[in-house]
Amino acid sequence: MVRAIADMIVIGQMLPGEKLDEVSLAARFEVSRTPVREALRELGAMGLVDRQPNRSAIVATVTETYLHSMFEAMAELEAICARLSAERMTVDERRTLELAHKASMKLVHTGAEEDYAAHNIEFHTRLYRGAHNDHVFEMVTQTRARLAPFRRAQFRLPGRLAKSYEEHGRIVIAIMRADGTAAAQAAYSHVELVSDASAVFAATREPSARGT
Amino acid sequence: MVRAIADMIVIGQMLPGEKLDEVSLAARFEVSRTPVREALRELGAMGLVDRQPNRSAIVATVTETYLHSMFEAMAELEAICARLSAERMTVDERRTLELAHKASMKLVHTGAEEDYAAHNIEFHTRLYRGAHNDHVFEMVTQTRARLAPFRRAQFRLPGRLAKSYEEHGRIVIAIMRADGTAAAQAAYSHVELVSDASAVFAATREPSARGT
DNA sequence: GTTCCGGGGAATGCATGCAATTTCATCCTG
DNA sequence: CAGGATGAAATTGCATGCATTCCCCGGAAC
């Protein structure tokens, strides 16, 4: 169930700042309020929703500063994954990555934004797995989920597909060469560009007071 | 309350694998089971406790592989913080860091393990803050908390205090020079050594099935 | 002696009910 | 007409109760 709510947020069915009413959610999932409350608490710990005492949980809202820090962190994490992938991927993993990348070329040509977005997620997930570090995988996955509500429609911008494909290519080449440094650099700048390309709408109000 | 339970785990009052009974905790905090359940859920999301359906929550237990991945991730994160600190710390932050470091020298001489451990935490926290990236700060703080139950008594080993002090010194020097690369390297190897020095006891069973 | 089976106790999962706080609308006042 | 106060509805926080599941221990069979 937390998965279901999380997806609703990540997919964008719920926009940052929107209220998550306990009774509505309880009705929607046909359960009592108790499990809903627990799910919201969990989502709060994951950073996907903001909670304040005696106030409705809302889809996490984030200051521009914090959003920037997440993008920067994402770039660092992707760089780590790329570097470790370059050093550690098995031959099978490398081959699969390269094949998937090459196969995505025709999605670029046909301009299939939806399909390319799916491929993109898979591509990056491969990178995260290739690092062979479960904790890094968790962190990067969770960061991506928290970033998702803010990078909607990144492939709508003209030419972005081709650019993304080219950048992926650079990462793949570095990984095939087992060149960790180059892979890290390529991955870092890739995310940086995504961050620029994103329709970044930061919360004007309600600076989600995070900080463990 | 989640803070209280989390502290009990991090401080080491509860050992990995130990059961967290809902009714006992409810009695201990003089509340009903409901808030306890929610707290446990939150701790589960934070990775400090493992939960399985219809089974007691237990203090997070971790496979040796996963523990290793956390130490490696910690090294990477500390390296990032050190590099960013070298690039971004204000003059005030740099000065305070250096002063605190130098002041810790006498703790090394007197062999005050407890006090040095406190200083150590503060020193690293300064590094995390100096990176001026809130999300990285969150990640590194949470990782440290999850690692804490497994690195108990790292300063008991003879000579570890002096070694730690020396390594801190290398980091400080690099930061004062604004040499991000050197700071990152120093921080990385520092954590690596801590990982070796730690009394690493991995869970034999119950491979905490994490993975977002 | 070991292994399999079953029952009692205990603990979790969830629903419901009540108190406390918030929120919104209406009304009053300047 | 604008702004603030007041009261009621709605919503959250927590306690309690019951159904379900699991765990543990004793006993019997091999």
Average pLDDT per run of 10 along chain A, which is 212 residues long?
94 92 95 96 96 94 90 97 98 98 96 92 98 98 93 74 95 98 97 64 43 40
Contact flag, residue A18 CB and nucleic strand D, below 7 A: no
How many other CB atoms sit within 10 Å of the CB of residue B156?
11
Residues 54-73 of B with CB under 7 A from strand D: 54-55
| Helix A91-103 and helix A113-130, axial crossing angle in degrees, nearest 10 | 170
Total-model pTM: 0.92
Among A1, A32, A37, A41, the strongest candidate for a mutation testing the B interface, having the largest count of B CBs within 10 A, is A41
Can you give the distance from the CA of residue A50 to the C1' of nucleotide D12 in angstroms? 15
- DSSP annotation string for A82-112: HHHHHHH--HHHHHHHHHHHHHTHHHHHHT-
Q: Quote the pLDDT of residue B32.
A: 96
**Residues of A with Cβ-Cβ distance to B37 under 8 angstroms:** 38
Q: What is the mean pLDDT of residues B123-129?
A: 98
Question: Whose C1' is closest to the CA of B52: which nucleotide?
Answer: C12
- Chains A, B: CB contacts within 8 A come to 80
User: In chain B, what percentage of residues exceed pLDDT 70?
Assistant: 89
Show the tokens assigned to A49. Answer: 């929703």
Distance from CA of B158 to the nearest CA of A (A): 30
Q: What is the mean pLDDT of residues B113-118?
A: 92
Contact flag, residue A19 CB and nucleic strand C, below 7 A: no
Q: Tell me if B41 and A46 make a contact (CB, 8 A cut-off).
A: no
Strand D: list positions under 7 Å from protein Cβ: 11-17, 20-23
Task: Compare CB distances from B136 to A46, A69, A141 and report the shortest one's residue.
Answer: A69
Q: Quote the pLDDT of residue A199.
A: 47
Can you give the distance from the CA of residue B185 to the C1' of nucleotide D20 in angstroms? 55
Q: Does residue B201 have a pLDDT over 70? A: no
| Pick from A157-166, B158-167, B189-198: least confident | B189-198
Provide the terminal-to-terminal Cα distance of chain B, rounded to the nearest Å. Answer: 25
- Cβ atoms of A53 and A143 within 8 Å: the answer is no
Helix (H, G, I), strand (E, B) or coil at A73: helix
Distance from CA of A165 to the nearest CA of B (A): 27
Q: Quote the pLDDT of residue A10.
A: 94
Q: Quote the pLDDT of residue B158.
A: 76
Q: Which residue has the higher pLDDT, A127 or B208?
A: A127
Confidence of residue B49 (pLDDT cuts 50, 70, 90): very high
Q: Does residue B172 have a pLDDT over 90? A: yes
Average pLDDT, chain B: 90
- Nearest-angstrom CA–CA distance, B77 and B124: 11
Confidence of residue B211 (pLDDT cuts 50, 70, 90): very low
- Cβ atoms of B145 and B125 within 8 Å: the answer is no
Q: Tell me if A41 and B42 make a contact (CB, 8 A cut-off).
A: yes
pLDDT tens per residue, range B59-101: 998 888 899 999 999 999 999 999 999 999 999 999 999 999 9
Confidence of residue B28 (pLDDT cuts 50, 70, 90): very high
Can you give the distance from the CA of residue B12 to the C1' of nucleotide D27 in angstroms? 41
Residue B177 buriedness (CB in 10 A; 0-12 / 13-18 / 19+): exposed
Q: Quote the pLDDT of residue B197.
A: 55
Q: Does residue B203 have a pLDDT over 70? A: no
Q: Quote the pLDDT of residue B198.
A: 53
Q: Quote the pLDDT of residue A35.
A: 96
Q: Quote the pLDDT of residue B204.
A: 40
